[in-house]
Amino acid sequence: GVMEKLGLGPEVLLQENPRLIYARLTGFGQTGKYARSAGHDINYLALSGVLSKLGRKNENPYAPINLLADFAGGGVMCAMGIITALYERTKSGKGQVIDASMVKGVAYLSSFLWKSQNLGLWNRPRGENLLDSGAPFYETYKTADGKFMAVGAIEPQFYEQLIKGLGLDSDKLPSQLSFSDWPEMKKKFASIFAQKTQAEWCSIFDGTDACVTPVLSFDDVASHQHNKQRSSFIKNDQEETSPRPAPLLSRTPAVPSFERDPFIGEHTEEILLEYGFTKQEITELYSEKVIEVSKPKANL
């Protein structure tokens, strides 16, 4: 309802320009019991059902930072809605309003969980299934130097290479999918991974199909050989590291800016002046807290 209070709701603007695509990105959506309630990523995850699936055995569900609802279910889904509406407009010539709810977005993002319920992937309690830390071959393990390795050897041919790299004999081990043996196998794998450093394990598993990779910290990720070869990370003029835009387009790849990120409101006045607002109008918008204006201070 914020935009309606400002007289800038979709009904008003679409009358001015019927081709307009108006995206409304919210946590709970434009309608419903919680539509006007405050919330954060963890609340949207909870209401979508996804949070109930996240967590280890005998532990509370946990939210994985705020990537799932805010950025994936919210930002990415909203962007996809805009792209879809732009494509539809090439046929109809008309714009439309996009109701991008983070609850619905992250629920839709989790369609795989819903569609695979009858496959036996999720019929055990949280933290005891194939992909939620229940399996010894889909887990992270601590190394001798306090770092970690990520293991994702699901397919039997990959699992066999994992077992070989760990120095074990598969003939002397339980079946890979023997659920009752998973807890003991996790302990066995953990004790073996703890005997070597992350670098030593990389030297064993790099170049194999064991699906074993180092868990890289933000300090290490840009210098990893694979990421360097792919130019996956860039530095701006302040020597700050960040990911390069993805996915990579062959003909029109994104050209990243190497300047520092702008301060919130740094270019507000400049942009509004460019679009025909007067200084007085900008001052009024600022005083009514409709906009933010923040000029960087000179380094004297």
Is 70 a catalytic site residue? yes
User: SS3 breakdown of the chain: % helix, strand, coil, rounded to 5?
Assistant: 40, 10, 50
pLDDT digits (tens, 9 = 90+) for 139-165: 999 999 999 999 999 999 999 999 999
The pLDDT assigned to 297 comes to 63
pLDDT digits (tens, 9 = 90+) for 224-274: 999 999 999 999 988 999 999 999 999 999 998 888 888 999 999 999 999
Domains of the chain: 2-119 (3.40.50.10540), 138-215 (3.30.1540.10), 260-299 (no CATH)
Q: Give the pLDDT band (50/70/90) at residue 19.
A: very high
The pLDDT assigned to 122 comes to 87
Which residues, in sequence order, are CB contacts of 81 under 8 Å at separation 6+? 23, 98, 100
pTM recorded for the entire structure: 0.88
Encoded tokens for 14: 């679409």
| Contact call for residues 41 and 34 (beta carbons, < 8 A) | no
What's the mean pLDDT in 9-36? 96
Catalytic residue, candidates 41, 70, 181, 237 = 70
CA dihedral 282, 284, 288, 293 (to 10 degrees): 30
3-class secondary structure, 238: coil
Catalytic residue, candidates 40, 206, 209, 220 = 40
Question: Above 50 in pLDDT, residue 300?
Answer: no
